[in-house]
Amino acid sequence: MSGNRYTGCSLQQVSPMAVPHDSHETSYLLPPNSKDWEGHGIPDFVYGQEELVLEGIQWPRDAPGLPEDTVPPSRFDSVLCSAWRQRVELGLFRYRLGELQTQTLPGAVGFVAQLNVERGAQRRRPQSISSVKQAFDPALFNFNKIRPGEVLFRLLREPDLPGALQQEDILVMINVSPLEWGHVLLVPEPTRGLPQRLLPGALRAGVEAVLLSSHPGFRVGFNSLGGLASVNHLHLHGYYLAHRLPVEGAPSEPLDPGGHLHLLQAVPAPGFLFYTSGPGPDLEALIGRVCRATDYLTDREIAHNLFVTRGAPPGKTSPSSALTGVRVILWARKSSFGVKEGEAFNVALCELAGHLPVKTSQDFSSLTEAAALALIQDCLLPPAQAEEVRAALVALIAQDEQ
């Protein structure tokens, strides 16, 4: 099946003709002359509780992708996609993302494979990383060195939202080597020079970005150092993919009596599942638990990947289960420093979730579910270490309950 180039970037609003050209929307667009970009300033996208959409966001029953007239875009979707598309027209990306060939691999998992030759060939070389705890190095490439115009807007919560006292300045900027339409980076205030170690404010912004979108296929993720993060400067990824992924509805079993930590047992890879039904104390508690888990892993030099998606509650679910909340899935994995050039894909946040951006047409045409699973399994922790991590995270969660 061939993926529609536009359905990923939030439905109908990717067409310039479909974007309302009022002052509210166009303030997110750059001036036509590049000499004016430096002084343009970064516009604020301020959101309140009422824009965090909890209910009514579902995939259509009869199609894996999303018809263009199913769900009206949210304000967040309209702003992000109109600004992102303008940067495409202005040539700010390393390559112009064409229609990506997309196929669901035959088999039980439901891998979504996409051919993205340009990203494989033209993305920036990953930095030299030797430790999950490596310090930020201002001499290396970082997000203080990007070109004017790459930042779309600043994501700001209204003060009345829970947790607003820990407000982070989050810049939303284009990923110049995009995986899909609408691929952005969420970067906490870059001048702070934070290393690639997950912090509560950054995770909160990621979860709330998923809730700000009315597209069920807008997902957010995080790669640790050693987990294929290519830049050691704190950032999360966000992007649209107009396809269901296996992790949205995969069944799980509880690991603690309070039901706060679950084990996602189904392939692509077993992972730790955290779930929230929406903003408020439940979300704040989830953020605390997830960041304590990632701190544990980082402190012990265990690489990890994290994926945030709308999904079904934990328990006995099915692939078509309703998307009633947000799933945050955490995978501990073997450290991998550098990119393996010869593989069909490199295993990071989206691959573990079931989305496989493939580098060459030969691999795309020959890739099987078994081969994909073998590549992923090769990146997972040995069973004894995986069991040790599982016991430690259960103990961490138990401390929260005391």
- Its sign, for the CA torsion 134, 136, 138, 141, is positive
Annotation says 235 is catalytic: yes
Q: DSSP assignment, residue 192?
A: G
Query: Within 10 A of 96 (CB to CB), how many other CB atoms are there?
Result: 10
DSSP-assigned letters across all residues of 290-323: HHHHHHHHHHTT-EEEEEEEEEPPSSS--TT---
Please state whether beta strands 218-223 and 236-240 pair in parallel, antiparallel, or not at all (unpaired): antiparallel
Contact 301, 295 (CB under 8 A): no
**The one catalytic residue among 215, 233, 235, 304:** 235
Please state whether beta strands 325-333 and 252-254 pair in parallel, antiparallel, or not at all (unpaired): unpaired
Question: What is the identity of the amino acid at 356?
Answer: L
Environment class of 113 (CB within 10 Å of its CB; exposed 0-12, middle 13-18, buried 19+): buried
DSSP-assigned letters across all residues of 195-230: -S---HHHHHHHHHHHHH---TTEEEEEE-TTBT-S
CA–CA distance, 144 with 194 (Å, rounded to integer): 11
Q: Which residues contact 225 (CB under 8 A, 6 or more apart)?
A: 129, 131, 132, 133, 134, 195, 196, 197, 232, 303
Contact 211, 53 (CB under 8 A): yes
Contact 126, 105 (CB under 8 A): no
Please give the structure tokens belonging to residue 199: 């912090």
- Of 166, 180, 192, which is closest to residue 240 (Cα–Cα)? 180
Q: Tell me the catalytic residues.
A: 235
